[in-house]
Structure 1
Amino acid sequence: MTSLLEWLSEGIVAQALTASPVLYVFANAAHILAIGLLVGAILPLDLRLLGLFKRTPLQLLGPFLSRAAATGAVLAILTGMALFTVRANEYVGNPAFLTKMGLLAAGIANVVLLRIASPWRRTLSEDRGPWSIKLMAAMSFAIWIAAVIAGRWIGFI
């Protein structure tokens, strides 16, 4: 594990971000914008699944917000991986970072379960979901807010 962390910290991405404060700022800003897209799409979808905003059809809102959240997640993961290389050794020992990674995994697992193991398509077509969908939406809401808090906490530990 140590050799992998050293390899990442000495790699071209880490060197570029360390050598150029401007590049680092842009990578950091891109990460924040990606998180904004992710959370900004997921939270309204979760709230709609929980029964709010009933005037907006779920059949219209669901696919759009799901794609927006997926795009945000991919961009956040890619930019996060780049930022990780700069301080890989520090981050792996940071409880807030580890918490954020656990919450990220839980959030992604929740999405996968929602799509695979639940009546997602029926929920979209009927414009309402059973209690299992509402439970997953509530869990998603809590997980993603906690992940954002953990992410902000990283710099303070």
Structure 2
Amino acid sequence: MDEAVWFGAVWLRMSSTAYLLVNASHILGIGLIIGAILPLSLMGPFLSRCALTGMVLAVVTGLWLFSVAPKDYLTNQAFLVKAGLLAVAILNIGFQHFNPAFQRALRGGPLTSGVKLSAIASFILWLSVLVAGRWIGFI
């Protein structure tokens, strides 16, 4: 029995155009995350919502892409690295948004060293998730 039974997975297997569009949407979602990591005094709240939109888009399209061949992905070392990095990146988001200093920075307050370190870590983590995701096809 073919492992891809969900319509969306079957559609991705049957249409290179569909796969291209979903994959591009997935990367767009990651791009929105990376493009909205560092808080800026005037754009902080907007960019924070933009990052959330990007994360949701990336996770939804990522799960969709995963649905094509879940057994293959679960045995792919690059996918496992990506999943671990993704978990840490999402935990960092939680840490940021429950940090009062980060909330103040989003509203134009000072950028403390902790906020800067968290933002740099977030940028590196999300970029690493993106690179690990591209690595999947090479293993």
With the length of structure 2 as denominator, give the TM-score of the two structures: 0.88
1:40 aligned residue: 35
Counterparts of 1:1-157 in structure 2, within 5 Å, are: 6=3, 9-42=4-37, 45=38, 58-125=40-107, 127-157=109-139
Q: Give the whole-Å Cα distance in 2 for the aligned partners of 1:70 and 1:95.
A: 27
Write the letter of the residue equivalent to 2:5.
E
Note the residue ranges of structure 2 that are not aligned, 5 or more in a row: none
Q: Give the whole-Å Cα distance in 1 for the aligned partners of 2:17 and 2:108.
A: 49
Write the letter of the residue equivalent to 2:52.
A
Partner SS for 1:39: helix
Partner SS for 1:86: coil
- Larger helix proportion of the pair: 1
Q: Cα distance, 1:151 vs. partner?
A: 1.1
For the 8 Å contact 1:14–1:85, the answer to whether it is kept is yes
Q: Cα distance, 1:125 vs. partner?
A: 4.2
**Deviations for 1:105-156, whole angstroms, at most 9, x for unmatched residues?**
1111111111113422223345322222122112112211211111111110
Find runs of 4+ consecutive structure 1 residues off by over 6 angstroms.
none
Residues 82 and 126 from structure 1, CA distance in 2 versus in 1: closer, same or farther, beyond 3 angstroms?
closer
Q: Give the whole-Å Cα distance in 1 for the aligned partners of 2:133 and 2:55.
A: 14
**Deviations for 1:48-76, whole angstroms, at most 9, x for unmatched residues?**
x5xxxxxxxx3312112111111111011
Partner SS for 1:128: coil
Question: Larger Cα Rg: Structure 1 or Structure 2?
Answer: 1
Q: Give the whole-Å Cα distance in 2 for the aligned partners of 1:134 and 1:96.
A: 28
Q: Give the whole-Å Cα distance in 1 for the aligned partners of 2:106 and 2:7.
A: 45
With the length of structure 1 as denominator, give the TM-score of the two structures: 0.79
Deviates more, 1:136-145 or 1:124-133: 124-133
Write the letter of the residue equivalent to 2:17.
V
For the 8 Å contact 1:118–1:132, the answer to whether it is kept is no
